[in-house]
């Protein structure tokens, strides 16, 4: 559990422990941390995220958003965000990051799926909702990262509730993806960097994922992405793959519509990325990153957040 306001990085943590940690951080740093817990998941769990700011978002600082855990089985993603929370509130090694930015950190966007992956089915990816589609009663869940309201359900998605890439009955049918959409809306004028954490593949992907074309901001997206990847590669263990940076569709060789990264960029956020954390094997085994690597991945990923923030601040 959360001893002395710390969360262990030697193993994957349950939702309860992650939430206990978030609550404790908000309690321990009332000057800088605001806990937001205003909406609930399909199954009624609170959707919790933290706003971290030197003056509690009273300022007009640029905002940086990082989320994880929209896909349930990608267990390595939430710890990279709790680690970022730890580094920001501790505010020792990179004080410029709290001086120059306001932060929104959302460690588990899909708590229902995360719990289901821990307790029932390790390879669960989607939310746990049901809708009017008859199949949905037998096959719950929507792919949160196909549910955003941009080019929704046009490519790389399914209309079948039993599919792992089911786009849902309509854009933002899921309260979980909608909660990310609402954060984007609320901070449109100030959000300069949006990163959504996934696994696996060691990749930094940028728009447009739905058709492989480059956005007006492709030069910045690419160069900042490269700098973020370099920061990780420099620290990475020798037997870990180097990060690859590029347009989501061109790197993966398939198109994806309704993803968070595309939506955030379409709404006007200049730098939006999907960061695919490491997985050392292929197929489903790639989601089973040995817990001995959690701490290392958090440390190296933090470096990419540091560089990404600083570069975003210069643009």
Active site residues per annotation? 276
Asked whether position 146 contacts Zn ion by CB under 5 A, the answer is no
Using the contact rule CB under 6 A, the part of the chain among 33-41, 55-63, 85-93, 251-259 near ligand ING is 251-259
Please state the closest distance from residue 274 (CB atom) to ligand ING, in A.
4
Please state the φ and ψ torsions of residue 265, each to the nearest 5 degrees.
-70, -40
Asked whether position 308 contacts ligand ING by CB under 6 A, the answer is no
For residue 205, what is the enclosing H or E element? Answer: strand 203-206
Please state the closest distance from residue 262 (CB atom) to ligand ING, in A.
7
Residue 254 C-alpha from the chain's centroid: 20
**Hey, what are 31's tokens?**
């000057």
The number of helices, as runs of H, and strands, as runs of E, in the chain is 10, 8
Asked whether position 205 contacts ligand ING by CB under 6 A, the answer is yes
Which residues 45-84 are close enough to bind ligand ING by CB under 6 A? 71
DSSP 291: G
Binding residues for ligand ING, how many (CB under 6 A)?
12
Interface pick for ligand ING out of 256, 275, 297, 298 (rule CB under 6 A): 256
Please state the closest distance from residue 310 (CB atom) to ligand ING, in A.
24
Asked whether position 198 contacts Zn ion by CB under 5 A, the answer is yes
**Nearest 10 degrees: Cα torsion 122, 128, 132, 135:** 10
**Hey, what are 194's tokens?**
């949006």
Interface pick for Zn ion out of 51, 61, 71, 73 (rule CB under 5 A): 71
229 binds, among Zn ion, ligand ING, none (CB under 5 to 8 A by kind): none
Interface pick for ligand ING out of 62, 69, 79, 209 (rule CB under 6 A): 209
Please state the closest distance from residue 166 (CB atom) to ligand ING, in A.
12
Scan for tokens 């004080």, then name that residue: 95
By CB neighbour count within 10 A (0-12 exposed, 13-18 middle, 19+ buried), where does 72 fall? buried
Whole-angstrom distance between the N-terminal and C-terminal Cα of the chain?
A: 40
CB 18 within 8 A of CB 83: no
Residues that bind Zn ion (CB under 5 A): 71, 74, 198
Residues that bind ligand ING (CB under 6 A): 71, 145, 198, 205, 209, 248, 252, 256, 259, 261, 274, 276
């Amino acid at each position: 559990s959360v001893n002395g306001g710390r969360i262990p990085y030697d193993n994957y943590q349950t939702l309860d422990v992650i939430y206990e940690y978030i609550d404790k951080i908000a309690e321990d740093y009332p000057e800088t941390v605001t806990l937001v817990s205003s909406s609930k998941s399909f199954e009624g769990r609170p959707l919790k995220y933290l706003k971290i700011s030197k003056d509690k978002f009273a300022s007009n600082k640029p905002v940086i958003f990082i989320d994880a855990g929209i896909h349930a089985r990608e267990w390595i993603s939430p710890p990279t965000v709790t680690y970022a929370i730890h580094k920001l509130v501790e505010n020792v090694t990179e004080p410029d990051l709290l001086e120059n930015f306001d932060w929104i950190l959302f460690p588990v966007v899909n708590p229902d799926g995360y719990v289901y992956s821990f307790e029932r089915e390790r390879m669960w990816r989607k939310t746990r909702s049901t809708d009017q589609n008859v199949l949905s009663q037998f096959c719950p869940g929507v792919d949160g990262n196909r549910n955003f309201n941009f080019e929704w359900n046009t490519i790389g998605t399914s209309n079948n509730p039993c599919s792992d890439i089911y786009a849902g009955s309509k854009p933002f049918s899921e309260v979980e993806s909608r909660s990310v959409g609402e954060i984007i809306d609320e901070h449109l004028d100030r959000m300069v960097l949006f990163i959504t954490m996934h696994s696996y593949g060691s990749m930094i992907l940028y728009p447009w994922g739905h058709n492989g074309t480059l956005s007006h901001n492709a030069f910045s997206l690419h160069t900042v992405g490269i700098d973020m990847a370099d920061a990780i590669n420099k620290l990475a263990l020798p037997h870990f793959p180097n990060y690859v940076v590029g347009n989501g569709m061109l790197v993966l060789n398939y198109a994806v519509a309704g993803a968070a990264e595309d939506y955030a960029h379409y709404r006007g956020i200049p730098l939006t990325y999907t960061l695919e954390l490491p997985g050392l094997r292929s197929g489903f085994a790639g989601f089973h990153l040995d817990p001995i690597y959690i701490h290392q991945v958090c440390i190296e990923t933090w470096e990419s957040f540091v560089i990404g923030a600083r570069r975003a601040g210069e643009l």
